[in-house]
Amino acid sequence: MPNTPYPSSYYAATANPAPARPELEEAKQADVCVIGAGYTGLSTALFLLEHGFSVVVLEAARVGFGASGRNGGQIVNSYSRDLDTIERSVGVGVEQARLIGTMAFEGGRIIRERVARHRIDCDLKDGGVFAAFNAKQMHHLESQKALWARYGHHELELLDEQGIRQVVACDRYIGGMLDRTGGHIHPLNLALGEAAAVESLGGVIHEQSPATRIERGANPVVHTASGSVTARYVVVAGNAYLGNLVPELAAKSMPCGTQVITTEPLGEELASQLLPQDYCVEDCNYLLDYYRLSADKRLIYGGGVVYGARDPADIEAIIRPKMLKTFPQLKDVKIDYAWTGNFLMTLSRLPQVGRIGDNIYYSQGCSGHGVTYTHVAGKVLAEALRGQAERFDAFASLPHYPFPGGQTLRVPLSALGAMYYSLRDRLGF
């Protein structure tokens, strides 16, 4: 099978050299077969390999082909839903909420530790900012800071109007919050570095090898077009690109698209005017914008959500106006790259973690903020396979419901809901 190219993006154009991994063409055995070579699959594989498991990773296309190689590159702590929502969730006990809350800040540490240990060249920078447009959003950040402190996260600084001007040259914000343990990375190079780390520990990755069927049983068999892997455990990590391989998982989630553009290089001077501290920024709107500088001083700007993950015909036409609203000073700047990627939304906006039968484990659906969560998920899945399931059980206790309207109406109903929340953002209530 010819190698699927990465979709055209700034990341694909600046990817570190990586080998093309062979398609699976035989019947193999391993302790664990991981489906999907994004951060969830690679992180799981790494933690398992470090504990002596043999691991085969099957990737439908290329390492980091999905969201992990296309995202905004923002290391954002916590989840796509606030910790107090988790505390109030039906069926989640106090201890389980405490565990989930504490894990909210672990992913960034795992990424930094992996980057250092495996010398991954992925332009890691520290510092992330949440930017508020109105008093309601600012109060929310204040309460987040207090809430996160309860879970031991103290690296936060509230920014007033003057403070936020010093980190981002945009006069639309009234304040914000700096998370010193946030930050940014070149996402595809992080995935490629993690894949190399998997192989350095004896793991095997097959690209161009979509899993077509899982034969369930005491020793599940994962089939591809030309081969199979018989394993003690299967870890499903295909997220928004999984399709209907595991119907139980498809039923409770919805793939969504979000788009990113990248400018031509801005030069040191303009780049450091826009974002003087080189922090990444996301705003506090329901449909949020996120942006940062690349290592070669371009602006990488993303935003919006396409429910149901239809690819828009003209991405620049959607995202450039958003960028110019934030930075009108870029009106003459050319866009060099534009691309789309899919993440997986759940109704609660919280990840779905669990087990099907005795030996098929999964994590999916972090609903937008997944760079840190997926790294924790890998650790938690590996712990569960080693018989330490306390943290896995905490995530598995989160309640999940199907989208209202089922497969047919979930897209228009979600879009309607988003319109309502966007209107509230605009009116500031």
CB of 371 to ligand FAD, least distance (A): 3
* Least separation in angstroms between CB 55 and ligand FAD: 14
Q: Quick one: which of 210, 220, 304, 354 contacts ligand FAD (CB under 6 A)? A: 210
Closest C-alpha among 244, 237, 257, 243 to residue 352:
237
Q: Which residue is nearest to ligand FAD (CB)?
A: 370
Stretch near ligand FAD under the rule CB under 6 A, chosen from 95-103, 194-202, 240-248, 391-399: 240-248
Output 206 or 410, the one with its CB closest to ligand FAD.
206
Which residue of 32, 46, 245, 271 would you call a contact of ligand FAD, by CB under 6 A? 245
Question: Are the C-beta atoms of residues 266 and 169 closer than 8 Å to each other?
Answer: no
| Minimum distance, C-beta of residue 28 to ligand FAD, in the bound complex (Å) | 14
User: Which residues lie across from 229 on neighbouring strands?
Assistant: 28, 222
Site for ligand FAD in 347-376 (CB under 6 A): 366, 368-371, 374
Min CB(162)–ligand FAD separation in Å: 27
Of 121-129, 231-239, 316-324, 413-421, the window that binds ligand FAD (rule: CB under 6 A) is 231-239
Q: HEC states along the chain?
A: CCCCCCCCCHHHHCCCCCCCCCCCCCEEEEEEEEECCCHHHHHHHHHHHHCCCCEEEECCCCCCCCHHHCCCCEECCCCCCCHHHHHHCCCCCHHHHHHHHHHCCCHHHHHHHHHHHCCCCCCCEEEEEEEECCHHHHHHHHHHHHHHHHCCCCCEEEECHHHHHCCCCCCCCCEEEEEEEEEECCHHHHHHHHHHHHHHCCCEEECCCCCCEEECCCCCEEECCCCEEEEEEEEECCHHHCCCCCHHHHCCCEEEEEEEEEECCCCHHHHHHHCCCCCEEEECCCCCEEEEECCCCCEEEEEEEEECCCCCCCHHHHHHHHHHHHCHHHCCCCEEEEEEEEEEECCCCCCEEEEECCCEEEEECCCCCCHHHHHHHHHHHHHHHCCCCHHHHHHHCCCCCCCCCHHHHHHHHHHHHHHHHHHHHHHCC
Q: Does residue number 58 form part of the binding site for ligand FAD (CB under 6 A)?
A: yes
Cβ neighbours around 67 below 10 Å, total: 26
Residue 269: how many CA atoms within 13 Å on its side-chain side? Answer: 1
CB of 245 to ligand FAD, least distance (A): 5
Asked if 21 touches ligand FAD (CB under 6 A), the answer is no
Interface residue with ligand FAD, options 46, 120, 231, 237 (CB under 6 A): 237
Quote the least distance from Cβ 26 to ligand FAD, whole Å: 17
Question: Which residue from 240, 305, 350, 360 is in contact with ligand FAD, where contact means CB under 6 A?
Answer: 240
State yes or no: residue 72 binds ligand FAD (CB under 6 A): yes
Instruction: For 302, list phi and psi in degrees, rounded to 5.
Output: -130, 165
Considering the complex, what minimum distance in angstroms separates the CB of residue 302 from ligand FAD?
5
- Identity of the residue, 174 or 418, whose beta carbon is nearer to ligand FAD in the bound complex: 418
Give yes or no for residue 337 binding ligand FAD (CB under 6 A): no
Smallest distance from ligand FAD to CB 83, Å: 16
Q: Which is nearer to ligand FAD, 274 or 300 (CB)?
A: 300
Q: How many residues bind ligand FAD, per CB under 6 A?
A: 43
Residues 116-175 that bind ligand FAD (CB under 6 A): none
CB of 387 to ligand FAD, least distance (A): 24
Name residue, tokens 């999984």: 242
The interface with ligand FAD within residues 74-103 (CB under 6 A) comprises 74, 76
Interface pattern 248-277 for ligand FAD (x via CB under 6 A) = ----------x-x-----------------
| Candidate list 48, 73, 101, 307; residue touching ligand FAD; CB under 6 A | 73
Stretch that binds ligand FAD, among 57-65, 168-176, 329-337, 382-390 (CB under 6 A): 57-65
Task: Judge residue 321's burial from the number of C-beta atoms within 10 Å of its C-beta, 0-12 exposed, 13-18 middle, 19 or more buried.
Answer: exposed
Is 44 a binding residue for ligand FAD by CB under 6 A? The answer is no
Q: Which stretch binds ligand FAD (CB under 6 A): 36-44, 93-101, 155-163, 404-412?
A: 36-44
Closest to 143 measured CA to CA, from 284, 280, 281: 284
Q: Which residues make up the interface to ligand FAD (CB under 6 A)?
A: 35-41, 58-61, 65-68, 70-74, 76, 210-211, 237-242, 245, 258, 260, 290, 302, 341-343, 366, 368-371, 374
